Amino acid sequence: MRPVCRVKSATLSRPFPHRPGSLRAGAWLRWILCLSVFASAMAAAQSRPGDMVYLRSIDPGIEQDIRYASAHNFTGHPLDGYAAAQCLLTLDAALALARVQKALSAQGYGLKVFDCYRPSRAVADMGHFATVPGDPRKAEFYPRVDKQDFWRLGYVARVSNHSRGSTVDLTLTGPQALPADTWTPAAAQVDCTAPYGQRWRDGALDMGTGYDCFDERAHTDTPLIDADARKNRQLLSRAMEQAGFSGYDKEWWHFTYSGAGPRKDVMDFPITPLQASNLLDTSHQLIVVTSKNWTDVQGTAQRHVRRGSTFEKYAEPFAVVLGKSGLAWGKGIAENVEQRQGPVKREGDGKAPAGLFKLGTAFGYDSSASTELPYLALTSTSECVDDSHSRHYNELVDGATTTRDWNSSERMRRDDDMYRQGIVIEHNTPASPALGSCIFFHIWRGPSSPTLGCTAMDQADISRLFGWLDPRQSPLLVQLPETEYEHFRADWKLPER
């Protein structure tokens, strides 16, 4: 007798392939029941594999709008397994996506991801939706398709490559994109194929349709879209293909990385909030800056290197100065800053950010520098934008070549030596309005002269950081008052001070 729950191996690239075929409703229902049972069994035993990483820990500059963690998707509800709006990918796929972001940013563009790893229980949830009454988001996502035909038309598959961790749904951002709207359940539903200025504004360039649009216009090479949308799709596709991703001809947003050989197994661990400990587990260089309290303007920095599962101190500690008003929680990489005890950083508050941060580009007055970090040689037109209404808020730009939409900025090539060597602290990346901008490691005026919000030190110490920091070691900065450091030390897996 054929077992009811036999699962045939599938190679479909995601759960919405526009492929012909049919599946009897009864057979489909049995499949959904079996997959749900299978997913429940996996959920009880499976945890996140070591090669699955949070994209934010690799490149926090890539924007994220994880649709299946909210009700703004074709089902009208958050999918099972999405306990947090986070993108997870295999390490190889995440690093490749970071390379795409770097290449696009050099041209003035960027990426926004809608979905990455998808638990198999979420795939089952999608299939179950197709079998129950109700169409809460039909007018936006599938206005010309009956839900009962999802499986016959191939919009829902048995297995998705998203569940293998190397597939991503994304779009292209850039200076010509309309500003993103903030979605609420009360938002009006507009056909995903409507003209660019009329359909849902996701903060991306015109790609011809919205995301997860069940329509022929979403096919990658459709002739039904205008020249601008076609050009944007081609730009995205070329950038992804050059980094080892392959597209899917029925969905312009869908790409799978195969550069290092994707995982073969289907995973079902839940997507949970990004915790500081998740990030520290992947770091091999750590800088710990502590102060006596929230209002102290002086602190101590200590370098650490990973030895096995723990961090060890590296070299001697050195003195730093902080913001003139002390410290306040910065956005950083981990979540829920607003829910923590203590002040929260705002633009112009004179506070240095507290929390866990990635370190970004090094910069300076010299044309080149002895550092493994990406390096920006500052010129007389280099600026850091601190106007939170600007599209370039919290960005280093060339004021001579960038279209100005800001009323205030900081000139980076100064008359003193403070920015002769510096390193960007990514405390608000991607930038949220008014949460603080232009925060760096840089050279101090003196050991008792606080900053406007940066962390400053003697030139010899920042020169040592230039030579020591290696982006391949995933360096991180932890910056906290001493009492907060001790409070979070066990949960974040921090070393002893």
Whether pTM exceeds 0.85: no
State the helix-helix crossing angle for 91-105 and 227-242, rounded to 10 degrees. Answer: 130
Tell me, what's the pLDDT at 134? Answer: 94
Could you list the active site residues?
251
Low-confidence ranges of the chain (pLDDT < 50): 1-25, 28, 31-33, 37-44
**How is the chain split into domains, by residue range?**
25-257, 276-492
Which tokens is 417 given?
A: 């030596």
What pLDDT is recorded for position 6?
31
* Residues in a beta bridge with 376: 363
Q: Which tens digit of pLDDT belongs to each residue from 287-327? A: 999 999 999 999 999 999 999 989 999 999 999 999 999 99
Report the pLDDT value the prediction gives residue 25, as an integer from 0 to 100: 47
Q: Which residue's structure tokens are 């102060």? A: 291
What is the strand order of the sheet 245-248 is part of?
A: 63-64, 110-115, 167-173, 251-257, 245-248
Query: Domain 25-257's class?
Result: alpha beta
Beta-sheet pairing, 440-443 with 455-457: parallel
How confident is the model over 120-175, as pLDDT tens digits?
Answer: 999 999 989 988 999 999 999 999 999 888 777 767 777 899 999 999 999 999 98
For residue 256, what are the β-bridge partners? 167, 246
3-state secondary structure 86-125: CCEEEHHHHHHHHHHHHHHHCCCCEEEEEECCCCHHHHHH
Q: Report d(CA 487, CA 484) in Å as an integer.
A: 5
Dist. CA 290–CA 296, nearest whole Å: 10
- In this prediction, residue 10 carries a pLDDT of 35
Contact 386, 454 (CB under 8 A): no
